[in-house]
């Protein structure tokens, strides 16, 4: 079994919880509160800036040309493609780029990005591969899940199309290949990889909850 599949098996309960979350369910049928979606756009935009930084740091740590090329490509794709689509979503919902760039991270977004960047700077290349995997694979799986649930086009159809596009599938394939190479090359790090993967997966679930409840700092 490829190590990416093993990690997905280990995180299957979290994966299912994400698919059943009301944010995802309501996004699929088009009934999600617009303010919850606006909140998600703003927070995910801030998240993606650090997610792209994670790939850039990982690319600099890579010791082989293939891995370096793949990771820097994903960093560029995140900055130039995925974030541009977020800016388009934001514009459609009356959110300016200036407003996006002023957004304060929520507690969950701060926790997630801090974990990713700490892993990037302090962790091994194997741990990094596992920490970044839940976001990419998770959004592809939830994109496919929402596409299967949607019975007609609605205002969130462009979101579903973005995360089931050929371009996004290509990026996720590169992520999986990276995880599998690390799983094969560093068998002694499987426990650390699993821990990093599950931490990111749990934070992915919390990100949906954060957006649905429009989490704020208490003080």
Burial letters 194-203, b for 16+ CB under 10 A, else e: bebbbbbbbb
The length of the chain, given as a count of residues: 219
Mutual angle of helices 166-185 and 3-10, in 10-degree steps: 100
Could you give the 3-state DSSP secondary structure of residue 95?
coil
C-alpha distances in angstroms, 134 versus 10, 19, 64, 128, 169? 12, 13, 23, 11, 14
Burial class (CB in 10 A: 0-12, 13-18, 19+), 166: exposed
Catalytic residues: 135, 204
**Residue whose tokens read 């931490």:** 199
């Amino acid at each position: 079994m490829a190590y990416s599949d093993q990690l997905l098996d280990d995180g299957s309960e979290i994966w299912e919880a994400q698919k059943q979350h009301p944010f995802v369910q309501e996004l699929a049928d088009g009934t999600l509160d617009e303010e919850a979606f606006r909140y998600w756009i703003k927070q995910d935009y801030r998240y993606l800036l650090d997610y792209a930084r994670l790939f850039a740091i990982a690319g600099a740590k890579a010791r082989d040309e293939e891995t370096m090329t793949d990771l820097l490509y994903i960093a560029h794709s995140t900055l130039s493609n995925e974030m541009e689509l977020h800016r388009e979503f934001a514009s459609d919902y009356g959110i300016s780029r200036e407003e996006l760039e002023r957004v304060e991270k929520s507690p969950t977004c701060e926790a997630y990005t801090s974990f990713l960047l700490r892993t990037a700077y302090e962790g091994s290349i194997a741990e990094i591969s596992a920490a970044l995997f839940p976001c990419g694979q998770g959004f592809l799986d939830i994109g496919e899940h929402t596409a299967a649930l949607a019975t007609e086009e609605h205002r969130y159809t462009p979101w579903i199309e973005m995360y089931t596009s050929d371009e996004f599938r290509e990026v996720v394939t590169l992520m999986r290949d990276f995880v599998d190479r690390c799983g094969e090359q560093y068998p002694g790090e499987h426990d650390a990889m699993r821990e990093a993967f599950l931490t990111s997966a749990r934070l992915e679930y919390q990100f949906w909850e954060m957006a649905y409840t429009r989490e704020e700092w208490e003080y």
